[in-house]
Structure 1
């Protein structure tokens, strides 16, 4: 199982953080996307263009790109450009936009909030062809963007039935967040059945999990839980989804997700010690492969200063 982490939403240390995570051997870096989000963060495409320029191996994930806020042709052009800049490292998480962020962004771009699901599906219909530079029918006329690029894997965000249907129809992965291994296990049978109805194999599963490792004050955890309940999660369930404790304890929680059928975890730390949290996450991944010492090459670090690639 692969493990990645989220980039800081704002700040001048994005480059240092990205290089730090790549040096630790994490599989991917993720950034949110919204025009007017609840918590401010920088534009996802510009952040990933910056990260692509200062890293060489780590994958670049959208967590998730809100497609219906965007025009499909420009979206495809940006995705294709990122594929060229990064050497095909993009992981295209997509979504229709949650209610928690409100409707201000939708008014700003003159898109009806109620039509976001239909528009998401319509964009996903044409996006692969546009990214690849193929002739694609758009608004009644064929266009072809150039240069084309490899279409990145599509990860459909969301935990509800519309997201499951969309993942079954369009996705390479289903990408829920704030969930448990038990809930994932229950949903996979439905996902497989839906995918079969579209003549497709069941998509893989990427899960976003909230993480606060080490000695974290209870008040900080409580504040995070409150924020999650604002997204509509019941308080008890929200507490169940947060991964706390030592790296060894986190490794056990990661393993439970793997046993439930999860292929990738996106760890989402929320404390201020982001660099340290990333180190603890990497240690948890190494613990999942017996120990940090066993996973590292002789001498502890490779010649380029990075640890060995981390996968569970």
Structure 2
């Protein structure tokens, strides 16, 4: 299981005296596998633009993966989206991990000038055309002229966000991975079965699975409890109280490692955690300890990874 951390928000950066470069270096030095940033427009919450934040993280580090959780190409002109992704892949030296989604409420799409009802078709079109655009092949976008972007780059892994049936189908037919967040291991296992069946029907290998999680580790004063986190998850994501209580990663690293192992048993090979607590650095360090403990456990059996692209975890 490879484990990454979501970079601190603008509010947390101010609170903890951090910037994105410092946070990314801290995560790399701690031994984590990746750092992540969301893609939000006009949400009312202070946030840095996703591709700029990841460019900062990429230039501040050397080894660690830099990931979008998740990038929304359909709210952008496709060629601009492809150019931003290609630039990140080039700047990072091939370390980009590209979660892709069609999320955000109607207000985000209105702010981007894109009809909300078009989010699905535009996302599918982006997934079909991005690989060619990134590698520098001539591509004709919908209602456009042929375009060739340069320099070409290796296509990063395309991991499709959300736990919906639509997202599973996209992951199985158009992506390299499935990237649901804040679901229980049982729901993940059921989704994996649907993912495998759909990929098999499409004649494609089974995509990798990355799980998005929420963690508040250790017992320092001010660290949210499992009940605190579960209440927020239930309210925001419409989970039952019982399911919401299963989702947070809390307690000491050994306890959290047990929970991560449940997701690994359900088919996940990567976990990306947003962290809550009074000190982002301390949470990243504890998450790295979880990773070390998980890495000492028996390795799950081999899993198919799509050939030709998305090979780098």
TM-score interval w.r.t. the shorter chain?
A: 0.7 to 0.9
- Structure 2, unaligned runs of 5 or more: 298-313
Which of 213, 216, 235 pairs up with 1:212? 216
Q: Which moved more, 1:141-150 or 1:9-18?
A: 9-18
Tell me the residue number matched to 1:225. 230
Match of 1:300 in 2: none
Partner residue in 1 for 2:81: 75
Q: How many residues align?
A: 288
CA shift at 1:265, angstroms?
0.6
Q: Relative to 1, partners in 2 of residues 1:67 and 1:48: Cα closer, same or farther, differing over 3 Å? A: same
Could you tell me which residue of structure 2 aligns to residue 105 of structure 1? Answer: 108
By how many angstroms is 1:91 displaced?
Answer: 0.3
Secondary structure of the corresponding residue to residue 292 of structure 2: helix
How far, CA to CA, are the matches of 1:268 and 1:205 in structure 2?
Answer: 17
Deviation, 1:29, is 0.5
Shift of the alpha carbon at 1:140? 4.0
**Alpha-carbon distance between aligned partners in 2 of 1:174 and 1:110, rounded to the nearest angstrom:** 28
Q: 2: CA distance between counterparts of 1:261 and 1:107? A: 37
Q: Report if aligned partners of 2:182, 2:213 keep a CA contact under 8 Å in 1.
A: yes
| CA–CA distance in structure 2, aligned partners of residues 177 and 219 of structure 1 | 19
Q: Does 1:286 align with 2:289?
A: no
Verify the 8 A CA contact 1:133 1:144 in the aligned structure 2.
yes
Q: Does 1:125 align with 2:131?
A: no
| Post-superposition offset of 1:280 | 0.6
CA drift of 1:219 comes to 6.0
Alignment equivalent of 2:72, drawn from 66, 75, 84: 66
Look up the SS of the partner of 2:22 in the other structure. helix
Deviation at 1:173, TM superposition (A): 0.8
Matches within 5 A, 1:36-185: 36-37=42-43, 39-98=45-104, 102-138=105-141, 139-185=143-189
**What RMSD in Å do the two structures reach over aligned CA positions?**
1.8
Secondary structure of the structure 1 residue equivalent to 2:31: coil
8 Å contact 2:223–2:276 — kept in the other structure?
no
Q: Which runs of 5+ in 1 are unaligned?
A: 292-312
Task: Work out whether residues 9 and 32 of structure 1, in 8 Å CA contact, stay in contact via their aligned partners in 2.
Answer: no
CA distance in 2, matches of 1:259, 1:122: 33
How many angstroms does 1:222 deviate by? 4.7
In 2, distance between residues paired with 1:219 and 1:154? 33
Give the SS at the match of 2:156.
coil
Work out the CA distance in 2 between the residues paired with 1:39 and 1:236: 29
Shift of residue 36, structure 1, vs aligned partner: 2.2
TM score, norm. by length of structure 2: 0.87
